[in-house]
A = this chain, B = another copy of it.
Amino acid sequence: MSLWDKYSAVRSHSVLICSKLQKEDYVVQPVVDVSPPKWHLGHTTWFFETFILIPNAFAYQPFNPDYNYVFNSYYENIGARVIRTDRGNLSRPTVDEVFQYRAYVDEAMEKYLPGLTDPTVLELLELGLNHEQQHQELLWYDIKYILGHNPLFPEYAADNIESGLVNSAEGWADFNEGVYEIGYQGDGFHFDNELGRHKVYIQNFSISTRLVSNADYLEFIRAGGYQDFNLWHAEAWDWVNKNNITAPMYWYEVDGIWHRYSLSGLETLKPEEPVSHISYYEAAAFAQWKGMRLPTEFEWEVASVQLDWGKLWEWTESAYLPYPGFSKAAGALGEYNGKFMVNQKVLRGASVATPAGHGRNTYRNFFHPNLRWMFSGIRLSK
């Protein structure tokens, strides 16, 4: 498989995800965490233009010099940018212009890639492709949010990724205490936050082979879980009350029957499906109610060989912190992971929205504990 084939396969998948959207769906930003789909399409393109073509491709002319301002996300090293909350205020560049931008950059990449042998640039290329895959996952979250928070509840498509939300059989896997090795080892792609490979001491633990289901979670709701402060962290309790949280995101009680918005539209709750779109706060409160707990990310990594995973990102009890010996790269690429290592929680696994081939059992995803627009779920430990 040539570099171009590999590049082109990833790039076309982003376009495929958006293929069922109306032009208007590409533009809006209903909350700060959601970016307009056209922004994702532009930003991932900007990454290749800024970090590969401009510094390396002979005589490359940027498509539009103003796009650096429009499509930079958070790279302070690269200069000023549209503030994040303003992304949904930009009607221009239009969707057509963003697709022209993609075609222009792809054409330049098609010319550039055959001669590419510089290992530093090859590494950047691989990072750029993984970066685009991360935005593909975000595209699913954001598209679902945009459609699922519209009062008309439009469907994305009858057949979609959520059909993959099938639970595993009930059971517990047990592990003995001892010293285990954690972190990425090998020659494949990985992020800097998966290094260095290091030893940890883990106590005896058991971990569920099955994710918490909608039916399980409904019990928690019916038992008054959202009203019992004893189950919640102090900050979580503030969050519940300030936002009037009474159910997972996308759950709606209509005439006494619980529904869930999926990419197929509003439908009655499927009891066996794993519960999704859950914040850490809710995951921890549910575990507390069950008299159990969430696994640490180390337990999870050790157990992962016995788990059937890939449906939902699973909250862990672990804070997102550097591994021993972690160091970040110089310049803009050093901003990729390290600067987020405070006040976030690690999630492990992958989800139905994760592009094929993107996951690993050493992969460390991370989100703030109150967020739940991503495909997140709960696995219990004890």
Contact = CB atoms under 8 A, between A and B. Distances in A.
Interface of A: 22-30, 38, 66, 69-70, 74, 76-77, 82, 86, 88-95, 146-147, 149-152, 154, 177, 179, 198-201, 203, 229-230, 232-237, 280-281, 284, 293, 317-319, 321-322, 324-325, 334-335, 339-343, 345, 369
A93 B341 contact: no
Contacts of A345: 342
Contact of A27 (B28, B322, B325, B341): B28
Nearest to A77: B230
Nearest to A96: B22
A232 B70 CA distance: 24
Contacts of A335: 230
Contact of A235 (B25, B89, B343): B343
B321 A28 contact: no
A30 B235 contact: no
A66 B38 CA distance: 27
B203 A325 contact: yes
B89 A342 contact: no
Given A82-B151, A237-B76, A342-B233, A91 B25 contact: yes
A233 B339 contact: yes
B22 A24 contact: no
19 contacts: A22-B91, A24-B27, A28-B89, A66-B152, A77-B230, A82-B151, A90-B151, A91-B147, A92-B150, A177-B199, A199-B203, A200-B200, A201-B201, A234-B339, A235-B343, A281-B342, A317-B322, A342-B369, A343-B343
Nearest to A30: B89
Given A92-B147, A317-B322, 7 more contacts: A22-B94, A23-B24, A27-B28, A28-B28, A90-B150, A280-B342, A317-B321
**Main secondary structure on A side of the interface with B:** mixed
A125 B93 CA distance: 39
B29 A89 contact: yes
Nearest to A232: B339
Nearest to A67: B152
Nearest to A70: B151
A345 B343 CA distance: 9
Contacts of A93: 152
A95 B369 CA distance: 37
A131 B70 CA distance: 37
Nearest to A228: B76
Contact of A334 (B74, B95, B230, B341): B230
Contacts of A237: 76, 339
B321 A318 contact: yes
Nearest to A325: B203
A152 B92 contact: yes
A22 B95 CA distance: 10
A376 to B, nearest CB: 16
A361 to B, nearest CB: 20
A86 B150 CA distance: 10
Contacts of A23: 23-24, 94-95
Given A179-B179, A321-B319, A369-B343, A28 B234 contact: no
A86 to B, nearest CB: 7
Contacts of A293: 322
A340 B90 contact: no
A86 B30 contact: yes
A22 B92 contact: yes
Contacts of A284: 342
